[in-house]
């Protein structure tokens, strides 16, 4: 049986983009020395990544146990910060 590596299959999708947005995208793609297609793919990847990251942290926060986390922090040996890592003194 032949295995198909789905990571390399490309989909085609026709987009209707307002002229002004297409113009900006073309200009930015040209400045980055990439094709408009590559620019749009990268922009889409960045947006998907941002939304997936937000979703990950939201789901993670829902499972959080603040009391348990504070107990763990309280159990850690108290050390002085390494010079340069200490908090700046606030003005009174």
* In contact, 27 and 39? CB cutoff 8 Å: no
pLDDT of 81 reads 83
Mean pLDDT in each 10-residue stretch from start to end of the chain (92 residues)? Answer: 70 92 97 96 95 93 92 85 83 59
Report how far Cα 4 is from the mean position of its chain's Cα atoms: 29
Coil, helix or strand for 90?
Answer: coil
Torsion angle in degrees (nearest 10) through CA of 35, 41, 42, 48: 170
* In contact, 25 and 40? CB cutoff 8 Å: yes
């Amino acid at each position: 049986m032949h295995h198909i590596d789905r990571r390399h299959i490309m989909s085609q999708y026709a987009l209707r983009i307002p002229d002004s947005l297409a113009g900006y995208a073309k200009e930015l793609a040209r400045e980055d020395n990439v094709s408009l297609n590559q620019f749009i793919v990268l922009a889409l990847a960045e947006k998907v990544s941002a939304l997936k990251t937000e979703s990950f942290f939201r789901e993670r926060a829902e499972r959080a146990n603040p009391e348990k986390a504070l107990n763990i922090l309280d159990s850690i040996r108290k050390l002085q910060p390494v010079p340069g890592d200490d908090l700046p003194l606030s003005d009174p």
